């Protein structure tokens, strides 16, 4: 198959997600079309049947997320994808998956909102993704690719982390990274050691014990025990799975921080600042949950000025402020998403200059 070659290919971010899902053994996809992510179901509807897989265009996003729950309960790797309006509809199912300790990958190619919003890029679903968009108090793994290569690699990682930690995992991107085409190396599936899925529901014909997958805990202390167990798991995630990229932070007097598409634009702005002789660096979280708090804390011991940049009016900044030392200033530059509001590197460079000059 073409995607197991090591030759570079030229594909859209959305296509890279679909190819990576196949490479990593996902054979079940359930979804409902919505711009700007429809290339994912388009690709998988073409490819999965020939691989003995299942592609189902569900009756709705709610149907699709519950099919994901059901497929995952049988132990297979499965995926769904959507954008803002559809991801909102899926929240009930995501909460049930979290409550049932089920793995499964959800891809969110963010578009402007609220409501139907628009089809342009947005980062305004950060809170929804990282804070538990459904009810009950839970977290899911959230990965934020900034390139088509990362769309490929992080989709594979999402499946592995999801299986290892028995939690839903989300790939959180937007229409810039989803619709953009880049040259990509279609890497092979990583050789991760995965836990055996002892908990699957496959009927008793195979001699497996009776398993129950549920999110209902009525017994005395049962619900509380579930929550403490999950809290311990979130800590394990934070201790072991934080990923980030730092660019020229070691001598920086201002650290720009941004994720996903915006970080790509910011990285070029940081390079412009360096060219102009300013000591500016970049901190890009790749895992949004777990958020790389310790790295921010360590960086802020030395650098006392951060500039958080988002394609929203400011959401990740909450986590940045909670992570840095107390004597650190966190400035903000962001624009609400929508047609025409994607910032340019030149624009971000102006913001860097303004904040750099004003530093203490």
Partner 1 sequence: MRYDVFFAGYGGQGVLLAGNLLSYAAIHEGKNVSFFPAYGVEKRGGAAMCTVVFADGDTGSPVVGNPSVSVLLNQLSFDKYAAKVKQGGVCIVNSSLVETNGVELPGIEVVLVPMNQIALDMGDVRMVNMVACGAYMEKSGSLKSASLEAALKKALPERNHKLISANVKAMEAGALAARG
Residue 251 interacts with partner 1 (CB under 8 A): yes or no: no
Among 135-143, 197-205, 302-310, 341-349, which window interacts with partner 1 (CB under 8 A)?
Answer: 341-349
Query: Helix 61-73 to helix 84-99 angle, to the nearest 10 degrees?
Result: 30
Residue 10 interacts with partner 1 (CB under 8 A): yes or no: yes
Question: Is there a contact between 142 and 150 (Cβ–Cβ < 8 Å)?
Answer: no
Q: Which is nearer to partner 1, 222 or 347 (CB)?
A: 347
Task: Compute, in degrees rounded to 10, the torsion defined by CA atoms 246, 252, 255, 256.
Answer: -80
- Residues binding partner 1: what is the number (CB under 8 A)? 25
Alpha-carbon distance of 291 to 297, in angstroms, equals 11
Least distance from partner 1 to the Cβ atom of residue 176, Å: 7
Q: Which of 39, 267, 286, 299 binds partner 1 (CB under 8 A)?
A: 267
Residue 179 interacts with partner 1 (CB under 8 A): yes or no: yes
Residue 71 interacts with partner 1 (CB under 8 A): yes or no: no
Question: Is there a contact between 343 and 262 (Cβ–Cβ < 8 Å)?
Answer: yes
Alpha-carbon distance of 122 to 109, in angstroms, equals 9
Interaction residues for partner 1, span 11-50 (CB under 8 A)? 35
Q: Which of 56, 68, 73, 269 binds partner 1 (CB under 8 A)?
A: 269
Alpha-carbon distance of 169 to 68, in angstroms, equals 12
Backbone φ, ψ for residue 104 (5° rounding): 150, 145
- Report angle CA 134, 238, 127 to the nearest 5 degrees: 30
Q: Which of 119, 238, 278, 297 binds partner 1 (CB under 8 A)?
A: 119
Q: Which is nearer to partner 1, 70 or 118 (CB)?
A: 118
Question: Is there a contact between 289 and 141 (Cβ–Cβ < 8 Å)?
Answer: yes
Question: Is there a contact between 14 and 37 (Cβ–Cβ < 8 Å)?
Answer: yes
Nearest CA-CA partner of 146 in 329, 281, 16, 341: 16
Residue 201 interacts with partner 1 (CB under 8 A): yes or no: no
Interaction residues for partner 1, span 158-177 (CB under 8 A)? 176
Least distance from partner 1 to the Cβ atom of residue 166, Å: 36
Least distance from partner 1 to the Cβ atom of residue 302, Å: 26
Among 40-48, 155-163, 265-273, 312-320, which window interacts with partner 1 (CB under 8 A)?
Answer: 265-273
Q: Which is nearer to partner 1, 164 or 247 (CB)?
A: 247
Among 100-108, 166-174, 216-224, 343-351, which window interacts with partner 1 (CB under 8 A)?
Answer: 343-351
Residue 345 interacts with partner 1 (CB under 8 A): yes or no: yes
3-state secondary structure 301-332: HHCCEEEEEECCCCCHHHHHHHHCCCCCEEEE
Q: What residue ranges bind partner 1 (CB under 8 A)? A: 8, 10, 35, 119, 147-148, 176, 179-183, 261, 264-265, 267-269, 271, 342-347
């Amino acid at each position: 198959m073409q995607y197991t070659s090591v030759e570079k290919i030229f594909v859209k971010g959305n296509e890279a997600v679909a190819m990576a899902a196949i490479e990593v053994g996902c054979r079940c996809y359930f979804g409902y079309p919505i711009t700007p992510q429809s290339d994912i179901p388009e690709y998988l509807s073409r490819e999965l049947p020939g691989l003995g897989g299942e592609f189902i265009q569900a009756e709705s996003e709610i149907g699709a997320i519950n099919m994901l729950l059901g497929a995952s309960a049988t132990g297979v790797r499965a995926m769904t994808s959507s954008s803002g309006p559809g991801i909102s509809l899926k929240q009930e199912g995501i909460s049930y998956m979290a409550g049932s300790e089920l793995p499964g990958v959800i891809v969110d190619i963010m578009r402007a909102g609220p409501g139907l919003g628009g089809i342009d890029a947005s980062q305004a679903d950060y809170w929804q993704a990282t804070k538990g968009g459904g009810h009950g108090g839970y977290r899911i793994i959230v990965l934020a690719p900034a390139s088509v290569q990362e769309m490929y690699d992080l989709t594979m990682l999402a499946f592995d982390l999801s299986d290892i930690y028995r939690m839903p995992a989300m790939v959180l991107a937007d229409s810039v990274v989803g619709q953009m085409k880049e040259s990509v190396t279609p890497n092979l599936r990583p050789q991760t050691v995965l836990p055996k899925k002892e908990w699957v529901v496959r009927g008793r014909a195979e001699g497996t014990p009776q398993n129950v997958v549920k999110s209902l805990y009525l017994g005395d202390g049962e619900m509380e025990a579930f929550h403490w167990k999950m809290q311990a798991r979130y800590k394990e995630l934070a201790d072991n799975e934080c990923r980030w990229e730092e660019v020229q932070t070691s001598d920086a007097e201002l650290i720009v921080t941004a994720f996903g598409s915006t970080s790509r634009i910011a990285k070029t702005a940081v390079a412009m600042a360096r060219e102009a002789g300013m000591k500016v660096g970049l901190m890009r979280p790749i895992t949004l949950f777990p958020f790389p708090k310790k790295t921010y804390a360590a960086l802020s011991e030395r650098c006392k000025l951060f500039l958080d940049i988002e394609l929203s009016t400011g959401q990740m900044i909450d986590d940045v402020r909670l992570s840095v030392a107390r004597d650190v200033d966190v400035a903000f530059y962001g624009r609400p998403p929508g047609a025409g509001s994607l910032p340019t590197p030149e624009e971000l460079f102006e913001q860097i200059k303004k904040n750099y000059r004003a530093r203490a």
